[in-house]
Amino acid sequence: MKPKVLITKRLYPEAIQHLRQFTEIEYNNAEEGFTAEELLKRLADKQGVVSQLTDKFTAEVMDKLPNLKVISNVAVGFDNIDIPGATKRRTLVTNTPEVLTETTADFTFALLMATARRVVEGDAFLRSGQYQEWQIDLLCGYDIHHRTLGLIGLGRIGKAVARRARGFEMIVLYHDAVRLPREVERGLGLEFAPLDTLLAESDFISLHVPLLPETHHLIGAPQLAKMKRTAILINTSRGPVVNEEALARALASGRIAGAGLDVYEHEPTVHTGLLDLKNAVLQPHIASASIDTRTRMCVMAADNMVAALNGRRPPNLVNVELWPQA
Ligand code: DGY
């Protein structure tokens, strides 16, 4: 008998085919996921779940799912899952790293450029019929080339953003819990900086940290107060890394110049203070959303699930202590 798997939301078809071959699937081929109650009901007889960021797996939820052996999350992030809780219950958790690195870095740069050069405002200005004549100071923004970019978090995506910044001849500072070996810093053209120095010296600050208790509200009023008045904050990591209330105030008062956001503290709700601001470019969590990348993420999640349910170590295991590498 094939193991039973729930797919909580629509996936690209390549992944469905693969899962169908090796498992008995219940597929919610819809944009909307299940309510917490419905999710529990549907998972009662399943050994695996292919989940998305909107599905929450708390210890309380997992307690009610003793048959659940594998949670295959279609994302590199896994803050929707209580990892220590899963490990305690011996539930394998997998994610989809690497395949989205370059696409997310592309989008981070797109957001940075759109915010600095007022691309969204320009589009709205033109469509509303306001473009009557070329003007010397029309929608002037900030230069990107030769400016200083501060990267907070230098994992795979942070490094990929740093590579792009080199093309713009930017000075790139970074701050991370772990400093890179000097030769890697040199190779990437990066300079390590204490957080306060990075905040004070950067023209653009881009966040690339996972959401952890230590990174919750990493950027709040005290950090915004240390930034240049001309600074632009970019967030393609996780919303709660930024105190959105403090950011809305800083943007409204001109404490900083702008923000490009793809993620929100209480997603999908966006702080009302941000919605009316022209100096905030707001996107609906689409940094990894290219067709190729999202297809690869789905296929990777399917591979992880099939491996785990067939007694093989899943290639992208998060709670590695459950299956140490031979
Ligand atoms: C992730 O993978 O964690 C992103 O937020 C969605 O691609």
Per residue in 266-293, pLDDT tens? 999 999 999 999 999 999 999 999 999 9
Residues marked active site are found at: 238, 267, 285
H-helix or E-strand containing 152? strand 148-152
Amino acid at 19: L
Give the architecture (CATH level 2) of 4-99+291-322.
3-Layer(aba) Sandwich (3.40)
Amino acid at 106: D
pLDDT, tens digit only, all 326 positions of the chain: 999 999 999 999 999 999 999 999 999 999 999 999 999 999 999 999 999 999 999 999 999 999 999 999 999 999 999 999 999 999 999 999 999 999 999 999 999 999 999 999 999 999 999 999 999 999 999 999 999 999 999 999 999 999 999 999 999 999 999 999 999 999 999 999 999 999 999 999 999 999 999 999 999 999 999 999 999 999 999 999 999 999 999 999 999 999 999 999 999 999 999 999 999 999 999 999 999 999 999 999 999 999 999 999 999 999 999 999 87
Helix (H, G, I), strand (E, B) or coil at 266: strand
Compute CA 107 distance to the chain's CA centroid, rounded to the nearest angstrom. 11
Residue from 12, 51, 53, 74 to probe ligand 1 pocket by mutation (most atoms less than 8 Å from CB)? 53
Reported as a single tens digit per residue, the pLDDT across 61-107 is 999 999 999 999 999 999 999 999 999 999 999 999 999 999 999 99
Q: For the chain, how are helix, strand and coil distributed in percent, rounded to 5?
A: 40, 15, 45
Pocket of ligand 1, beta carbon within 6 A: 75-77, 100, 288
Domain 101-282 belongs to what topology? Rossmann fold (3.40.50)
Amino acid at 145: H
Domain ranges in the chain are 4-99+291-322, 101-282
Whose alpha carbon is nearest atom 1 of ligand 1?
Answer: 75
What's the Cα-to-Cα distance from 20 to each of 42, 88, 209, rounded to whole Å? 17, 29, 35
pLDDT at 309: 97
Intrachain domains 4-99+291-322 and 101-282 with the same fold? yes
Closest residue by Cα to residue 316 from 142, 205, 156: 156
pLDDT at 104: 98
CB 253: neighbour CB atoms within 10 A?
9
